[in-house]
Amino acid sequence: MKKVFVLSILFVVFQYFISNKAHSQEEYSFRVAFWNFENFFDPFTDTTKMYNEFTEKGGQHWTVSRFYKKRNNMYKAILALSEGKPLGILGICEVENTFVTTLLFQETPLKKHNYRIIHYEGDDRRGIDVALAYSTDKLQLINSEAIKVRNPNNKHFKTRDILYAKFYDRINDTIHCFVNHWSSRYGGEKETIHLREMTALLLKTKVDSLIRINNSIPNIIIMGDFNDTPWDNSILNILNAKPPDLFSYNDTLINLFADEKSLGWEGTLKHQYKWQIFDQIIISNSLYNNSESLHYIKKSAEIFHQDFLFVDDETYGGKKLFRTYVGPKYYGGYSDHLPVYIDLKHN
């Protein structure tokens, strides 16, 4: 009888250990994502700004009902992107203010994932900013700041900030995150390339500064809509973010979105017949090669491409993105960009 009792106790302890191990594995892995929200404005006139096209009386005829439809589209897509679990980090661009992000993350089913928002009012002429949502179930914020992008040759130049945030995860590993939305190609790719190269150089100095302070390469995540591909000079040579197959031991940054064949979809946005990868996640050597603490799960980089994000492209063939607007015409869809994501875990 005593032997049976002892075996029962051992079985309970074993079950407890297995249960806790499974819970620990789930708890110490999380997804990092980025998404360009395509003009996520509130529907109200802001008298402090010159750009008010996304209002009921503005050129886009942006109403309260259209705003809530967009909000609902986005939260459903984020739940699908996260597979019903809290994202560790979601970088965002093209959001107007904390009002729209609060209604998205605090007034929808996303609320259960305990997201907090980091947002700074930027200098973009249209009033669209970068922001970051993180789950307090996964991460603890240490500090954050908005890094201003300035053009020394044009004092009137205004663009989006680079958002920087520093976190601890649940095992006290430190993560440095940069959220970007670089200058667009509006006006021509060659005519605007110097603006993106200027931003790339600024970001590179911030990364180099972190390395000097830490005397080693810390855990760095760079994400954004770069309006350049992984093979453009701004990213490949100035930021020096290398594709995994060109990466050497001495390189600091690895661009996980350089090989479209491994990402599940051809690109993150479509111009006429051509898909391009403007939305990317770049990580440091320390996250890519580490196997002991926090690290990148190999081959987890993907372009999120669920069917509901697309419509048939009757002009150029195949699929195109189900957008909120195309020019002034309202379609009621999601975005003109696809989300991207990677997965991180602890051993």
Token digits of residue 198: 């200027």
Sign of the alpha-carbon torsion through 277, 283, 289, 295? negative
pLDDT at 38 over 90: yes
In a domain, 16, yes or no: no
Q: What mean pLDDT is predicted for residues 19-34?
A: 66
> Would you say how long the chain is, in residues?
347
Nearby residues of 266 by Cβ (< 8 Å), 6 or more positions away: 260, 275
Instruction: Tally the domains of the chain.
Output: 1
Asked if the structure places residue 1 within a domain, the reply is: no
- Per the structure, the complete domain to which residue 261 belongs is given by 29-345
The alpha-helical segments, DSSP class H, found in the chain are: 2-27, 64-81, 98-105, 189-214, 233, 285-289
Averaged pLDDT score across all residues of the chain: 91
CB 198 within 8 A of CB 149: yes
pLDDT (0 to 100) of residue 46: 86
Taking the C-alpha atoms of residue 133 and residue 164, their distance in angstroms, rounded to an integer, is 12
pTM across the whole model: 0.91
For the CA atoms of 84, 39, 177, 154, what is the dihedral angle to 10 degrees?
Answer: 180
Q: What pLDDT, on a 0 to 100 scale, did the predictor assign at position 346? A: 87
| CA Rg value for the chain | 22
Model confidence over 100-138: pLDDT tens digits? 999 999 999 999 999 999 999 998 989 999 999 999 999
pLDDT at 232: 97
Q: Is residue 294 part of a domain?
A: yes
CATH number at residue 249: 3.60.10.10
Torsion of CA 228, 230, 234, 236, to 10 degrees: -170
The pair of three-digit structure tokens given for residue 309, joined into one six-digit string: 């994000």
Whether 11 is covered by a domain: the verdict is no
CA angle 321/92/203 to nearest 5° reads: 115
| DSSP state letters, 233-255 | HIIIIIS-EE-GGG--TT--EEE
In a domain, 18, yes or no: no
> Is residue 14, in this structure, part of any structural domain at all?
no
pLDDT of residue 9: 46
Question: What is the DSSP secondary-structure string of 154-193?
Answer: -TT---PPEEEEEEEETT--EEEEEEEE----TT-HHHHH
Structure tokens, 203:
């970001």
Other Cβ atoms within 10 Å of 268 Cβ, number? 28
Q: Give mean pLDDT, residues 72-100.
A: 97
CA 52 to chain CA mean position, Å: 26
For the chain, count helices (H), then strands (E). 6, 20
4: tokens are: 């049976």
Tokens of 191: 């005519």
Asked if residue 310 belongs to a domain, the reply is: yes
Mind listing the pLDDT tens digit for each residue in 182-222?
999 988 999 999 999 999 999 999 999 999 999 999 999 99
* Residue 6 resides in a domain: no
- Percentage of the chain exceeding pLDDT 90: 79
